[in-house]
Every structure is written in C-alpha cells, then in structure tokens.
A and B are shown apart, each in its own frame.
Chain A
Amino acid sequence: MAKEFSVPPVVFTPSAPTHRRHPPPGTGASPPPAFAPPRPSTSSTANPLPFMSFDVGTGASSSSPPLFAGPIGVGSGASFEDEPPLLEELGINTRQIWRKTLSIIHPFRSADPTLHADADLSGPFLFLLSFGLFQLLAGKFHFGIVLGWVTVASLFLYFVFSMLSGGRCGDLDLYRCVSLVGYCMLPMVIFSAVSLFLPRGGGLIFGVGMGFVLWSTRVCIRLLSELASSGEEHRGLIAYACWLIYMLFSLLVVF
C-alpha cells in the first residue's frame, strides 16, 4: 500500500541561500538526498530554512532522520553569516598563542604574568606537531610517543608541584600544567630543528642540547612561579623535576 507524504514545495528565497530538500519518500521518483531536514510550510519559525540545521519540532512529516546532524550549537535560528568564525568557535585564539610564544622566546624579558593564566591546549598541540615533524625529517616517527610522554610528564609535574606546595596551591590545575609543559616545549622544538644540521653523536650536539634544555627549564620555572604564588621556596626542587622532563625529550632528539 503506497503511503502518501506531504512534500513541501521547494522555495528559493532571495534573502538567504536556502536548500530545501524533499524528505526521502518511500515511493518517490527523485533520489533521496543524503540529508533531509524537512521543513513544512506550517513551521512555527518564520526564518527561512538555513543550510544546515536540525529542527526537532517538525518531526511529524519527516520519514527519516537526517543523517547529517550539523552543529547543534548553531541553532535553527541563525543564518549562515551569523555563525562565529571557525577558529573562534574551536577556542583557538591565534593572537594569544602568538603572544605566549613570544613570551617564551624572549627568555630574559618577563612579560605580562597573567598571560599564561589563561591556558589552552592548541598552542602546545601545534608545538608537539612541529616537534614530531622535525623528528620525522630526521627519520624518526615519534608522534605517538611524544604525546604519551607529554601526558606522563605533565602528570608527574602536577603531582610533584601540588604536593610540594602543600595541597591545592595557587591555581595550577592539571589543564594548566599540561598547557605549561606544552608551551615550554618550544625550545625543544627549536632544538630538534637545529639538530638536523649538527653532526650526530658529536659533543657539539650534547652541548647545544643542554643549552636548550636549560632554556626550557628556566622558562618553565618562571611560568610556574608566576602562576602559583608559593613557588619561591621550592624553586630548586621543582627545577630539578622540570629539568628531568626536558632531558627526556632531548634524549628523543639526540639519539
């Protein structure tokens, strides 16, 4: 027995690009599209149907759920131009990342101390990717290893730091710790780039590596003591922990 479906008419309004599709009918002649948000003309909202939208209100006439769900956060009222830019939606603030990077590169000029209070993971992710890339240029495929080691190292640092400072101290939580360790990897990234041009196994690469590790450690200590107030009396103890972490990564580069 053939069912009858109310097929809404295709309407192209001049204001917004609208792509209406018929809901995939059971016996339709037209091929069913991959996604079919149905919008009958008796819809409650007055806005034209945007390109990607998920409307739960009009389930009466739909015969199959749309396979293409689309971003829920956008909502059914916003049009395409009103959506925030992609990077902003993802929370990647490139200007902030650049400023944080600059604050690490200038080791002797202390920048705004609250700059790193707002932690994010996209900068560290970029650094880890480029570290992996330079390692790849050297013939070593270490992407997964680096990710895993950064995780373990951040956990280690977080544990030691929180225990040494007497419980919940300052506002260093695990997220900030991962962000911090990731940002201070920048000198190691530069080291892995530089080590492509140095002779392997020579004493030079060890000396250069030690210099970069000390740079990383210094930056990490500076940022840690800025973030958490009571980092002063345990500086040497924390410094050793940070030094161990960056020595581990320098092992990856050198050998």
Chain B
Amino acid sequence: MYNSYGNPPGMQMPPTGQMPSGHPQPGQFDNPFYGAGSGLIRTGLGAYGERFLGSSSEFMQSNINRYLSNPQYYFHVNDQYVRNKLKVILFPFLHRGHWTRISEPVGGRLSYKPPIFDINAPDLYIPFMAFGSFIILAGFTLGFMGKFSPEAINLQFTRGLIGWALQTVILKGLVYLMGGGEVPLLDLVAYGGYLFAGLSLAVVSRLLSAYSYYVMMPWMSLCMGVFLVRTMKRVLFTEMRSSERHSSRQHYFLLFLAIAQFPLFFWLGNIGA
C-alpha cells in the first residue's frame, strides 16, 4: 500500500496494487483508458472503498460475523465517553465504579450496550487514535534525536502494529487457556490497543524531560496492567459462569498478563534503537 521501509531513500515508486494511479498520463497513446479520464478512476476508487469497508448489513450477513463482530459497534462513541475512558485507562485506580459491562437482551441473545452508554465497553476509536498519536510522537522523538527519516517512521508503524498484535495474542491466549469461548476478537483487539494511550503519554513526558521517562514508563505499564487485569477478570468471570474457576491458575495467568506489560512497553517505547 505504501512504500515499504526497505526501499533505499530516494527511490521513487508509484503506489502499486490497491490504488490505481490517480492520473492518466497524457502522451502514452497505447493507454486504453485514454479517453476515460478520471471517471474510471473515480468508480474504481469508489468500488475499492465499498469492498474494503462494506456497510454493517454486509457484515451481518457474511461468515465474517463469526470471527469479526460488527466494527461499527466499537465506534459508537462521543466526546464525553472518550474523555472518561481515557481517565479510566490512564488512572485505573481512581475508577470507583464497577467494571462490568451493562448487558441488555436483544432479540433473545444477550448483548452489551454500545460504548456511548457504558463506560466499561471497549471501543476502537481510542486505540486507533492512540496508535496514530504514538506514530507522530515517535516521529518527533526521532527528529529531536536527529535520526528522523520516513523509513524510520514506517519502521515505528510496523513495530507498533506488532506490539498491538502481540498484546492481542496474549489476551486471546489467556481467554483460550481459561476455557472461555465467546469473547469477540475485536473486543480483544480493542483492549490490546489501549496500551498506546499510556505509551503516548510516556513518550510525551520523555519529550519534555529526559528523566521522567524512567518514572512514567513503569507507571504506565503498571496502570495498563491493572486495567487489563480488572477488565479480563470481569470478562472471564462472565464467560465461565459454569465451571467455577476462581482458582489460583486464573490468578497466575492474570499476574503474568500484568507483568508482561512491562517488557512490551519498554520495547515499544525504545524509539531510538
């Protein structure tokens, strides 16, 4: 989609594949679309857009529904939710309320209320925005260190994606090992993506003062660990009502989850390497 960071700088390659080149080139008369101009490009791009992100009804009807629940649910947010959720993520100790999600029976199945009504519901807006902020802040950090180049940004993008995937895999592994079945994948992706909020805050503090990094990073890891432990505990509790596993095994796994945040944060926050 975009230039891989393996290209040497200065090599110019037009984007191939997904986006058709947005300008028919005059002067090449063997171009069969010579007369069609931008109309074809327009319909092409429109069709690509439709294909990538079909409407929610398409998701409901297709098989994908089993693996990827409707992503629109996760974007049903507003300003106030975002602010409060950020407070919960960054300072989970201060959250006095309960951590369970509000459920409502919809058409016979039990489903959860969307994030706009429920502070404990996961959303995908914050992870995406936090990821973007992380990329921008990584760019600034690299720039101040004098190591900025677009390929380095692409590298940070890839590292961020890998970190996100790793976090999701850890969460998914936890759910699988505990025997709970039906947690939607996008829920775990959302929980996994929340780490970028704390990470971005830590990187901002590093930009402002060099030593605060050593304070903020462990603090943010701890906060994220607490948040995830509390959330996953609730998730597992609701999933495994039948088998009564308040055993020490569950507690060990949750402890592992909390401790695994520290290396993850330090690896992602190590921008200069």
Contacts and interface: CB of A to CB of B under 8 A. Distances in A.
B22 A121 contact: yes
Contacts of B26: 86, 90
B39 interface: yes
B135 interface: yes
Interface string A204-241: 00000000000000000000000000000110110011
B37 A91 contact: yes
Contacts of A149: 2, 150
Given A121-B38, A151-B1, A158 B132 contact: no
Interface in B28-60: 29-30, 32, 34-39, 41-42, 45-46, 48-50, 52-53, 55-56
Contacts of A68: 29
B55 A141 contact: no
B136 A166 contact: no
Interface residues of B, number: 61
A248 to B, nearest CB: 6
Nearest to B137: A247
Interface stretch (B75-83, B218-226, B236-244, B251-259): B75-83
Interface residues of A, number: 58
A125 B23 contact: yes
A6 to B, nearest CB: 28
Interface stretch (A15-23, A37-45, A69-77): A69-77
A255 B136 contact: no
A149 to B, nearest CB: 6
A2 to B, nearest CB: 33
Given A151-B19, A174-B49, A90 B42 contact: no
B150 A145 contact: yes
Nearest to B146: A255
A251 interface: yes
Interface in A134-161: 141-145, 147-149, 151-152, 155-156, 158-160
A72 B32 CA distance: 7
Given A144-B14, A159-B53, A244 B132 contact: yes
Given A69-B30, A168-B55, A251 B153 contact: yes
B273 interface: no
Interface string B174-218: 000000000000000000000000000000000000000000000
A12 interface: no
Given A68-B29, A121-B23, A237-B77, A73 B45 contact: no
Contacts of B150: 142, 145, 149, 252
Contacts of B38: 90-92, 120-122
B12 A141 contact: yes
A89 B37 contact: yes
Contacts of A155: 1, 52
A247 B142 CA distance: 14
Given A148-B2, A163-B72, A174-B46, A251 B29 contact: no
Interface string B73-102: 011111100100000000000000000000
Contacts of B48: 174
Contacts of B42: 119, 175
Contacts of A148: 1-3, 15
A175 B7 CA distance: 27
B144 to A, nearest CB: 9
Contact of B140 (A74, A147, A162, A251): A251
B11 interface: yes
A241 B132 contact: yes
B112 interface: no
A173 interface: yes
B101 to A, nearest CB: 20
Nearest to B157: A152
B45 A251 contact: no
Give the 6 A-B residue pairs with the shortest CB-CB distance, closest first. A73-B35, A174-B49, A148-B2, A91-B37, A255-B143, A163-B75
Given A121-B22, A152-B2, 8 more contacts: A73-B34, A90-B38, A119-B42, A149-B2, A151-B19, A162-B53, A163-B72, A175-B49
Interface of A: 52, 68-74, 86, 89-92, 119-122, 124-125, 141-145, 147-149, 151-152, 155-156, 158-160, 162-164, 166-168, 173-175, 177-178, 233-234, 236-237, 240-241, 244, 247-248, 251-252, 254-255
